[in-house]
Amino acid sequence: MRPLVPVAASAAFLAWAVRGRSAGVFGRSYWRGSRRRPSIALTFDDGPSEATPQVLEILARHRVPATFFQCGANVDRLPALAREVRAAGHEIGNHSYSHPLLCFRSPGFIEDELRRAQDAIARHTGAGPAWFRAPFGVRWFGLGRAQRRLGLTAVMWTVIGYDWNRKADEVAARISDRARNGAILCLHDGRELRVKPDVGVTVEAVRRLVPLLLERGFQFETVSRLLCPTT
């Protein structure tokens, strides 16, 4: 029976290392900015998708920037939308090429996923990302090295909206309740690699949240600005 405790403990440790937003086992991840400034970063994963313009329209109406963690395969499929995101002044991050779970994958596979996304984004928008968000928030052996080789820094989130399986008012309430100085808020303008995904919940949540958070005195910043306010 003796090995049970260490085995259970190491399984729990591994689970935390893989999924924990503040775990640095597979490379350091940022999950919030300074609590001293009333700034927040709105981030969108899994795009671009056919619904991305609806999100861009809301952000433009309120003149707020955001950060879009795009999948390389979606950028190759919808390059004009990736360019539109950049042209509107938003930041683009790397969210892997094909949105795989990175656990139990080889370091070569992981680096290839990150590099192909980096190349697709740079080719279509003119600049390679500085930030990486792991698909499903899952990190694994070899990810830290791949990030270093590609000049990427990992970003998780302070609050995730569960916008893929909850109602818009629940998503908006969840984020609004947890928004604090320095918070990184995670929503989705796509659904992994799906074509024409239904992201109506996300769009509706963003429509409600942006004016609400502005009214509370928060200022929206890109991830770069939130985490490196002097640059």
- Catalytic site positions: 45, 188
Exposure string for 46-73, b = 16+ CB within 10 A, e = fewer: bbbbbbbebbbebbeeeebbbbbbbbbb
Cβ neighbors of 181 (< 8 A, separation 6 or more) are 33, 34, 35, 36, 37, 38, 39, 40
Q: What is the DSSP letter of 227?
A: H
- What is the nearest approach in angstroms of Zn ion to the Cβ of residue 163? 11
Q: Phi and psi dihedrals of 176, rounded to 5?
A: -60, -40
The Cα–Cα gap between 69 and 86 comes to: 12
Nearer to Zn ion, 135 or 142 (CB): 135
User: How many residues bind to Zn ion according to rule CB under 5 A?
Assistant: 3
45 sits near Zn ion (criterion: CB under 5 A): yes
Minimum CB–partner distance for residue 102 and Zn ion (Å)? 11
Quick one: which segment of 1-9, 42-50, 58-66, 221-229 binds Zn ion (CB under 5 A)?
A: 42-50
Q: Report which of 105, 115, 171 is spatially closest to residue 138, judged by C-alpha positions.
A: 105
Identify which of residues 45 and 189 has a Cβ nearer to Zn ion in the complex. Answer: 45
Q: Counting contacts by CB under 5 A, is residue 189 touching Zn ion?
A: no
175 contacts 161 by C-beta, under 8 angstroms: yes
Tracing tokens 């991305």 back to the chain, one arrives at 52
113-152 binders of Zn ion (CB under 5 A)? 135
46 or 91: CB nearest Zn ion: 46
Q: Which of 167, 162, 196 is nearest to 51 (CA)?
A: 196
Minimum CB separation from Zn ion for residue 139, in Å?
A: 13
Nearest CB to Zn ion, comparing residues 46 and 189? 46
Where does the chain have alpha helices with state H?
4-19, 52-62, 72-77, 79-87, 107-125, 143-150, 168-178, 200-215, 223-227
Binding segment for Zn ion among 15-23, 43-51, 178-186, 195-203 (CB under 5 A)? Answer: 43-51
Closest distance of CB 10 from Zn ion, Å: 27
Minimum CB separation from Zn ion for residue 190, in Å? 8
* Closest residue to Zn ion using C-beta atoms: 45
AA identity, residue 80 = A
Please identify which residue in 26, 46, 125, 143 interacts with Zn ion, judged by CB under 5 A: 46
Q: Which is nearer to Zn ion, 137 or 142 (CB)?
A: 137
Contact set with Zn ion (CB under 5 A)? 45-46, 135
